[in-house]
Structure 1
């Protein structure tokens, strides 16, 4: 078994397990060994659960030997962001406030993963309380980018992204309130999907912003993201925001071209403030979509400035509402970064919050109108390369998500959004392309993303990356 196996896609691994050429025990053991070797360098996991993972793998091995395969995730090692509850295992949310909390039940998505046969190998590092774009955690250390150890892995699901890019898991579950799945995926050369709001239940996930929070899959390929989404999507009767619409089979059929597809681009906001190399790379990706047969058309979306304001007001005020009791009782356990954000939310007046929600409703309608006749919207995912770790102060950190990526408006809309690798800078740092579709159209996003990925298979570069193997870190503190 070679190191290349650690970068195999889920579908290929599933075939090996199904035909008994590979055991859940063997692959879980190999992943745990790799985590043991690389996590001291990359700090992708806050907590690794080897004993529990091997118990799960042993039970799944026995099922395999008896001819019972639960599905494509049977025996596949998966990481879970450490803001999502796991029964019997600490869930810290990247904070000292919850450092000793051991939930007595799994989150809905973790229940679904286990039912599907996934092996949970650990809890991934994150920005404290998911309130940031860098995963520079003051208590558990920064997650480092496998392409350059001095750089951030993005956030807030940076641990997931680092683990995937370095072969320390085969899929991961993250959260996305303002780009926290998609942006770290783009910065690490992996795939991230924010589903339609309510498509995946958030029950059992500590909230950042109730009306903006999403849970979704992170993976190395679009097909792997589809496999994960099929496992975790579906109605949760205990989650009032959970959609009742049945989740279809994603990627049930693959596309051979994009003839008949119309893809919109909006230059205002989405293409502003871009690094020159990233701009050229994204334009090349758009050209590739056109070569595949898609019609690319420019549109204008009204109300973009007001929508940005509304997203900040809603996120920060809802965040403060959740944290207020704990912040008043345990202020010393919050970092300056998070306290800065929560104090911003504290200043939001009720009339501002109501106005922001009204702007949001209008913006959703205006965006749907602007996208009429279009299948999706394409945009850059990351606008700039990742920053150096420790290069941004807490006061500046609140703007990081807007400097690194123009991602939050997809959360305000609640529309599904996919980040897929589309190239590299001259410094060998990944670049991501974002596709945004109408509500419930995850299947369209995944089909288009899958075809683009097959036409330009950037995922293959992950197995070739050796930047993290040396363990040389210039900014280690």
Structure 2
């Protein structure tokens, strides 16, 4: 591998050591990425806006290093942001025509944290319009292609974040997750994605889709890099009404620790129903791999899973319509037809439906807590299917909304948006056509470090080699 290729294919963890020792500079990284984005992204469409000041900031980070100021492992590292996360002075569009010229006056809280950690915001990444869709092919700025096969969906709604990280156009990215929007594209594009515990990461300055279900989280190429990013963005924000105070902790602290005698639950129902055969094979191989490492597997049961799926749908469409009702009135023609049609379905939802769904959310928290009191984590597929073709909308002959592909795509991820429990996806193999397959680990509330411990052990044992795209 030549030096140029080796630079952009590096991990955050690897680069941070070189950065601290003077073996690589922030300006070198940014210049390298600019050239690569210009060469690669015309076919992927992962970026909406590039940060014109990225090189200037890189020079500032370089000067800090020269004066002995090292902010930590993200110092001088180029990071991308899903374009629903507000950035001071940089256009933030939500993937929509309505906000095509919107420039926020303030950074989102998570952006402030990244900047404190020394990261360089390299640009804003494409998203399904207003983050309302898991397919990643409904943005005002065009479809985001899957780097592994440009005819396939990248997944959504954090489509640009996943594609850019997979294609080595940035070293990590932030996404948002309301029904799986970090984990879906991470699985489809073959990277690591974490949806942390609800309330652990501030959502202030992130355009909402659902007040009740939204999460912000990191997307990277490795488990260690993901934990490094989580360390940077988790901080208590007293101005976020949903923020939960936690003492600072190091989410890398268990990485590399032995997983022998850790106990993992395999849900008997729901998660393993109607799986694509190749997905099933990869997940079973991942389970066997963990067993060889000494992990204890046991079957578990979460009784009300189908109720949780329905409750998630009710809350999502109700919140989404409430958030966008004024935009629908003010800008009736500036919508993707599919997104607008989906928003309007909320008008059929009754108030008592929402009340029942909120009650079911409490049940979801209770049932996940009960089962996770008996095991350290759960293991499931992230997706039940392989990445579909771009613009594919139904997997069978039935063309009703009930059988829309969005429900197949979000089936295995949405339940932990309802419960708020942390969920991590990582690559566990490929299909015969070399499309990525992801495995999902679900943990106790605020137990992200344990998920990283298990995920790292699996990552190192499986050694899934994700290609570097040229």
What interval of TM-score do these two structures reach, taking the shorter chain for normalisation?
over 0.9
Give me the whole-angstrom Cα distance separating, in 1, the residues matched to 2:161 and 2:467.
Answer: 15
Instruction: Write the mapping of 1:320-469 to structure 2, written as runs, cut at 5 A.
Output: 320-392=321-393, 399-405=404-410, 406-458=412-464, 460-463=465-468, 466=469, 469=470
| Structure 1 residues 159 and 138: alpha-carbon distance in aligned structure 2, compared to 1, 3 A threshold | closer
| Range with greater deviation from structure 2 (193-202 or 133-142) | 133-142
Instruction: State whether structure 2 residue 123 is matched by structure 1 residue 122.
Output: yes
Kept in 1, the 8 Å contact 2:314–2:357? The answer is yes
Give me the whole-angstrom Cα distance separating, in 1, the residues matched to 2:377 and 2:136.
Answer: 30
Instruction: State whether structure 2 residue 235 is matched by structure 1 residue 234.
Output: yes
Q: Deviations over 1:374-396 (max 9, x none)?
A: 00111001211111112228975
Residue aligning to 1:156: 157
Give me the whole-angstrom Cα distance separating, in 1, the residues matched to 2:348 and 2:9.
Answer: 47
Residue aligning to 1:195: 196
Give me the whole-angstrom Cα distance separating, in 2, the residues matched to 1:333 and 1:173.
Answer: 26
Kept in 2, the 8 Å contact 1:113–1:231? The answer is yes
Residue aligning to 2:226: 225
Residue aligning to 2:313: 312
Instruction: State whether structure 2 residue 17 is matched by structure 1 residue 11.
Output: no
Give me the whole-angstrom Cα distance separating, in 1, the residues matched to 2:139 and 2:256.
Answer: 45
Instruction: For residue 136 of structure 1, give the secondary structure of its aligned residue in structure 2.
Output: coil
Give me the whole-angstrom Cα distance separating, in 2, the residues matched to 1:192 and 1:461.
Answer: 15
Q: Which runs of 5 or more structure 1 residues have no equivalent in the other structure?
A: 470-477
Kept in 2, the 8 Å contact 1:46–1:125? The answer is yes
Kept in 1, the 8 Å contact 2:259–2:453? The answer is no
Residue aligning to 1:48: 50
Q: Deviations over 1:261-302 (max 9, x none)?
A: 110011311111211011011100011111111111111111
Q: Deviations over 1:341-398 (max 9, x none)?
A: 2111222111110110001101211221133220011100121111111222897599
Give me the whole-angstrom Cα distance separating, in 1, the residues matched to 2:373 and 2:39.
Answer: 51
| Structure 1 residues 45 and 388: alpha-carbon distance in aligned structure 2, compared to 1, 3 A threshold | same
TM-score w.r.t. structure 2 length? 0.96
Aligned length: 463
Give me the whole-angstrom Cα distance separating, in 1, the residues matched to 2:403 and 2:424.
Answer: 23
CA RMSD of aligned residues (A): 1.5
Residue aligning to 1:474: none
Instruction: State whether structure 2 residue 21 is matched by structure 1 residue 24.
Output: no
Give me the whole-angstrom Cα distance separating, in 1, the residues matched to 2:234 and 2:139.
Answer: 33
Give me the whole-angstrom Cα distance separating, in 1, the residues matched to 2:302 and 2:221.
Answer: 32
Instruction: State whether structure 2 residue 184 is matched by structure 1 residue 183.
Output: yes
| Range with greater deviation from structure 2 (382-391 or 63-72) | 382-391
| Structure 1 residues 169 and 447: alpha-carbon distance in aligned structure 2, compared to 1, 3 A threshold | same
| Range with greater deviation from structure 2 (221-230 or 2-11) | 2-11
Instruction: For residue 53 of structure 2, give the secondary structure of its aligned residue in structure 1.
Output: helix
Residue aligning to 1:143: 144
Give me the whole-angstrom Cα distance separating, in 2, the residues matched to 1:375 and 1:359.
Answer: 24
TM-score w.r.t. structure 1 length? 0.95
How far 1:138 sits from its partner (Å)?
4.4
How far 1:340 sits from its partner (Å)?
1.6
| Range with greater deviation from structure 2 (397-406 or 278-287) | 397-406
Give me the whole-angstrom Cα distance separating, in 1, the residues matched to 2:403 and 2:126.
Answer: 19
Instruction: Write the mapping of 1:27-176 to structure 2, written as runs, cut at 5 A.
Output: 27-49=29-51, 51-176=52-177
Give me the whole-angstrom Cα distance separating, in 1, the residues matched to 2:403 and 2:196.
Answer: 24
Give me the whole-angstrom Cα distance separating, in 1, the residues matched to 2:67 and 2:98.
Answer: 44
Q: Which runs of 5 or more structure 2 residues have no equivalent in the other structure?
A: none
Instruction: For residue 461 of structure 1, give the secondary structure of its aligned residue in structure 2.
Output: coil
Residue aligning to 1:473: none
Give me the whole-angstrom Cα distance separating, in 2, the residues matched to 1:221 and 1:40.
Answer: 25
How far 1:315 sits from its partner (Å)?
0.7
Give me the whole-angstrom Cα distance separating, in 1, the residues matched to 2:265 and 2:341.
Answer: 37
| Structure 1 residues 88 and 260: alpha-carbon distance in aligned structure 2, compared to 1, 3 A threshold | same
| Structure 1 residues 23 and 47: alpha-carbon distance in aligned structure 2, compared to 1, 3 A threshold | same
| Structure 1 residues 411 and 432: alpha-carbon distance in aligned structure 2, compared to 1, 3 A threshold | same
